[in-house]
Amino acid sequence: MALRLKPGRHRVLEGCPWIFRGELLYHEPPADPLVDVLDADGRMVGRGLYSPTSAIAVRMLTFGRETVDLDGLVLRRIESAVAARVGLSSARTGLRLVNAEADGLPGLVVDRYGPMLVVEVSFHPMAAMLPKVVDALGQLPGVRGVFERGNLSVRRHEALPLEDRLLWGELVNPVTVEEYGISYEVDLVGGQKTGHYLDQAENRVAVASYAAGRTVLDVFAHTGGFGLHALRGGARWVTAVDSESGALDRAQANALRNGFQDRLRVEVANAFDWLRKTSRDASPYDLVVLDPPAFTKSRAAVKGALRGYKEINLRAARLLPPGGLLVTCSCSYHVDLETFIAVVGSALHDAHRTARLIEVRGQPVDHGSHPLLPESRYLKCLIFEMTT
């Protein structure tokens, strides 16, 4: 079936892989999810997958008149994505193998944790292809099980069930992974995201390079990723703050696993409250890491998110002496890089502090983004050196 765009400008005509429902002329829902997309004059744009319920009605697979063998195309792209990550596996046994639109596989994420693969599907047509996807994943060397994290709120928009389930093989959980010299125990069933924040792997290594001899505060620490790498890099000690006691229990277990247990302190607390209280006192910290969860998942909530980012960065800046380092992150893709830099700059100004921005970082190589889909470039990591 062919779907036609309304007259006007559309990002898809410039190569963006998303078409929103309001961009299409009225149509009956197609019986086959693979659809042809035509421009307003009837010229072929390409072929994509159609969702009957999502606001993103079509996600493009190809542009132009290329014939699509859907099963073959998906399997070839999985093979290509996995092959592109082979060079990473010597330093990391936890990494992303498939990153959705960036790998030409809309709505499909596959993360590897040693012998386990964890799958997230956020697009209805891709869910229908999951059995064949799993068959292909189960053939990868060393894989013992494929587990789906399906309890994602975004799946409501795709009329998909919110459930976690074992798709193939056996469930190995928890599982131990290695990341640039740090060993983690990861809970694939109860942990955040697919079990661990894999997207911060290279930013954690960057923090380690600055950590020697410093006292470190790791806020929104989760299971201690940034703090553990800081300790590996020679930090004198680390305080890890998080509201989830279970996450900090795992952080302590990971510190013990790596021989850092005497240099890690944990504080179970609301990060905003803890920073507000602590910023009034003399601070022993000279490196602060802020890695909060997404403060907004919609454009409507951006103003509130910016207030949140400003608050935590203002408080953190007051903890640091001249020469201290502020590492601050945002995973809210509705807050773009320039806006995030500006809000941190405003926080520094209101805290009566000045700093130089010395690094602008983002996602690691296994979390590549689509060049024409800004929504896929969500992670920002800024490193500031305090000057006053």
Q: Which residues are catalytic?
A: 331
Q: How many residues does the chain have?
A: 388
Structure tokens at 378: 């969500």
What gap in Å lies between CA 137 and CA 133, rounded to an integer?
Answer: 6
Q: What phi-psi label fits residue 352: left (phi over 0), alpha (psi between -120 and 50 degrees) or beta?
A: left
Q: What is the DSSP string of 138-156?
A: TTSTT--EEEE----GGGG
Q: φ, ψ for residue 7 (rounded to 5)? A: -60, 145
Report d(CA 375, CA 55) in Å as an integer. Answer: 15
220: CB partners within 8 A, 6+ apart: 241, 242, 271, 290, 291, 292, 293
Let me know the angle formed at the C-alpha of 158 by 154 and 164, rounded to the nearest 5 degrees: 60
Prior bond of 371 cis (ω within 30°): no
CB 280 within 8 A of CB 351: no
